[in-house]
A and B are shown apart, each in its own frame.
Chain A
Amino acid sequence: MTDFLILLRDHWLSLIADALVILLMVSGTLLFLLAAVGIVRMRDVYTRMQAASKAGSLGVACMVMAVAMYFKSLNVAVEATLVVLFIFLTTPIATHLIARAGYFVRVPIWDRTARDELEGCYDAETHTLQSDHLDESAAGTDAPPPGRSEPQ
């Protein structure tokens, strides 16, 4: 009788584990799909980067976790953890650099963008980012932004 119960328990446990693996893989795939659709549908670099950075990184995390759950071994689990860690460390930095580079080379910004407070803050020569005029305008004096004219 107890043998039968243990067998039943193991059966249910492996069933739940399989269901989790499937769930993770399906949601990972859906996230990749969303990232792809987002890249096609969005209208400028920044909105595209938004779609790609979020859905992409969580999608990879889901996939790798599914792999770790499927193999159930320590080596795979450690490697999976490292992969997830590095993805979450590097994706924001890559996104940040692409967005910044896009602004420097004046990639056209979507005309629905309602406000652009970065406008005129970059020094064209040195690429340094000034923000002193923001303090001044917050204090009430309306100083014109320094720097150069801006992308559209």
Chain B
Amino acid sequence: MSKLIANFLLAGAWAAAIQPFNAANLAVGFALGYIVLWVASPSDRESPYFKKVFKGIGFAFFTLKELVVANIKMAVWTVMPLKRLRPMILAVPIQEDLTDTEITILSSLITLTPGTLTMDVSENRRYLFIHFMHVDDPEEAKRDVAEGFQRRLLEVTR
């Protein structure tokens, strides 16, 4: 976490020194700051931060892709005959040891992605109750949520 803050500060310093202070210079500063941090911490090369940055960027792009797919799917569902839809409310098991933050991020992302809407978390934090717009196979839908989002999220946060 301190490495992440240091990296952002380095990016800010770079962009402030190399005018103008804009997104492109911030991105360059972030990349340079990453290299500086890597060079400057020979005793800490194993730090998970160096891998997490790439996973975080990958996760951001994955989320963006899902967001666009969600809207295309929703557009199709909005205009096609409603008879073809089969909505369901399913209890999707999640890992037991997720923190509050992770559950919040996970359920928000589920709401923003194709055809799913988080309704509630069970008291013992083992299940997310999700409304699906259209399900062919309930078991497969549950597996998709657990394998897809949960695994990718945990790669970044842990």
Contact = CB atoms under 8 A, between A and B. Distances in A.
Interface in A61-95: 74, 77, 88-89, 91-93, 95
A53 B85 CA distance: 18
Contacts of B22: 74, 77
Given A43-B82, A129-B123, A131-B123, A117 B89 contact: yes
B120 interface: yes
A54 to B, nearest CB: 5
B74 A50 contact: yes
Interface residues of A, number: 46
Contacts, number: 135
A144 B72 CA distance: 39
B119 A103 contact: yes
A74 B12 CA distance: 14
B88 interface: yes
Contact of A31 (B71, B79, B129, B138): B71
Going nearest first, the 9 A-B pairs with the smallest beta carbon separation are A131-B122, A92-B111, A92-B108, A117-B91, A115-B88, A38-B78, A131-B127, A46-B131, A116-B89
